[in-house]
Amino acid sequence: MTKALKGALLTLCCALVVVPFLGIVATSVSTREDIVRNGGFVLIPREITFAAYRALLTGGVVPRAVGVSVFITLVGTALSLVATTLLAYGLSRPGSFGHRPVLMLVVAALLFTPGIIPGYLTVSELGLLDTYWAVILPAVVNAFNVVILRAFFMELPSELLESARIDGASDGQTFVRIVLPLSKAVLSVIGLFYAVGYWNAFFSALLYLNDSAKWPVQLVLRTYVVNQTQLGVDQVGTANLPPQEALQMAILVVSIVPILLIYPFVQRHFTKGVLVGAVKG
């Protein structure tokens, strides 16, 4: 493939993403005049106003919801990584007790999903309603991630693990000293999957958190996007307030920026040659 073709392809791909995103940002800082004139989605605003962001950040809902999301994401991802890594490693070691039936349970969990109401009753019976655990615990183990991680563990060079065992390392020591360091790339990807999963989750929060003070930002966002009106627009004058479209796009931006910040940490581990050095050393 020639350089020029490659460049053109990548530019096209990026443009397809960047243009709508510029529109999102532009709409979030547009005036009502611009928004209505452009049919709701502004690509180039004529006048810039940060009124929507001001309204969101001082309204007493959004900053708190972002805080909740950060908490859920941090705690959840940490728990998930621990439980998933242990489970996947356990299932990647042959011959351990209950190895095959448990693996089957994990795979079957991918194929059969429980209904909303039984899930609610379980969480409710455990007394988790209106706690953050209701949102975190059911999501700690994701079968897809377990299967992926296990596959990566299986592919670690067996001579490495073998030599560790000959050196007298216990299973636990092998895991911590050899398996984990060699799996940084996939662990960071799985961590990213979990983090983004927790960040994006709104449905469990809707079901399990009655107190709207505990809502994460994605559920708040949903009330801006799906509920089409600001309250009372049928009864009140709102001409001087930021337009609904700008508010929607602004909260969208606010909800995306924090999770974007973690991506560089993940990318760091995509560097090549991690395995090679280990095998040789």
128 phi and psi angles, rounded to 5 deg: -95, -5
Cβ proximity to other proteins: between 60 and 168 the closer is 60
Shortest Å, Cβ 159 to other proteins = 12
- CA-only gyration radius of the chain, Å: 24
Shortest Å, Cβ 168 to other proteins = 18
Torsion of CA 232, 238, 241, 245, to 10 degrees: 70
Tokens representing residue 180 in the block: 């984990």
Cβ proximity to other proteins: between 10 and 48 the closer is 10
Tell me how far the alpha carbon of residue 162 is from its chain's centroid: 36
Q: Give the separation between CA 58 and CA 52, rounded to whole angstroms.
A: 10
Tokens representing residue 82 in the block: 């621990």
Shortest Å, Cβ 73 to other proteins = 13
Shortest Å, Cβ 70 to other proteins = 15
Cβ proximity to other proteins: between 168 and 240 the closer is 240
CA angle 47, 48, 54 (to 5 degrees): 145
Shortest Å, Cβ 45 to other proteins = 14
Tokens representing residue 11 in the block: 């530019």
Question: 142 in the Ramachandran plot: left (φ > 0), alpha (ψ -120 to 50) or beta?
Answer: beta
Cβ proximity to other proteins: between 3 and 168 the closer is 3
